[in-house]
Amino acid sequence: MSKPIVGFIGVGVMGKSMAGHLLKAGYPVLVYTRTKNKAQELMEEGATWKDTVAQLTAEAEVIITMVGYPSDVEETYLGEEGILAHAKAGTVMVDMTTSTPSLAQKIYALAKEKEMIALDAPVSGGDVGAKEARLTIMVGGDPDAFERVRPILEVMGKNIVLQGKAGAGQHTKMSNQIAIASNMIGVCEAMAYAKKAGLDPALVLQSIGAGAAGSWSLNNLAPRMMAGNFEPGFYIKHFIKDMNIALQAAEEMGLMTPGLKLAKSLYEQLADQGEADSGTQALYKLFLQE
C-alpha cells in the first residue's frame, strides 16, 4: 500500500528533523517554508520544494504545519492563499505548532464544513526529541482522524495520546508549559547556586539528577548551561508566546497561576537583554548576573 503524500510547512529547529524522519520512513514529502534555504538539506534528501502554501496544499493528502506563532497558524490555514482555501475534500491537516485552543477549534470547525479533517497536535521534547524521533505528541480531534494519521505521528514521536476533542491537544500543551515554566526557574536557580557555592556543577547534577529533584529539564538542559551552550532547543521568544497563551486561557477559566506569571516576567526580562533567540536554559544567565 502506497504511503500518502505529506506536505510539511515550517522546517525550523523542530520541523526540519520531523520532516527528515518522514523522508527516511519512505513518505513522499513536499516542503514549504518562508526561507527556502532552510529546506535545502531536506531537498537534498528527497523532499520536493513548493513555492507557496497553495501549491503544496493542492497536492498533499496529509498536511503538517510547524510554524512559529498563532498568527502564523491563522495565516497558514485561514488566509486567502492558505490551506483551507486550496485543500481537497478529505485532506487531513495536523497543526503541530503550539497555538491557542480556540484557534484549533476554529480551524477544526471550518475544515469540517469543507469536508476536510483537522487535528491539533502540539509536541514536547525539544530539538533533542525531534532529532531522535521521540517527541511527546498531544492530540485533539476526532478518533478516526487520529487513527488515520497515527502511523505518521509514530515516525516522529513515541508518546502519542489523543487527549480529546479539537483544542484538547493545545490545552494539554499548556499544562506542559505551565509545569516547565516553574521547573525551569528551579533548575536554573539550583545550578546557579551550585556555581556560586564553589561546587563542581557536574558532580551536583550527578547527585540531584538521580533523586527527587530530577526532571527532563534538569538532566537535559543543565549540562548545556554548564557547557555555556545557550543555543535554542526551544527559543525563549516562543516560550514567552506559550506562557502568554497559557495565562490567557487560565484567566478565562478563573485559575491562579502565580508560578507561570513569575516565569513569564523573568523570561521577558531576559528577552529585553537580547536573549529572545537563545534557548530557555539561558535563564541561568539571569541568576548569575552581578
Is 3 among the catalytic positions?
Answer: no
Question: Nine-digit cell at 160?
Answer: 502519542
Please provide residue 133's backbone torsions phi and psi, each rounded to the nearest 5 degrees. Answer: 55, 40
For the range 211-220, what are the long-range contacts, defined as Cβ-Cβ under 8 Å and sequence gap of 24 or more? 213/186, 215/183, 215/187, 217/180, 217/183, 217/184, 217/187, 218/183, 218/187, 218/190, 220/126, 220/128
Question: Nine-digit cell at 145?
Answer: 482522524
- Measured CA distances, 284 to 226, 239, 257 (Å): 9, 15, 22
> Is-contact 244 100, C-beta < 8 A?
no
Which entry of 16, 50, 131, 173 is annotated as an active-site residue?
A: 173
Active site members? 173
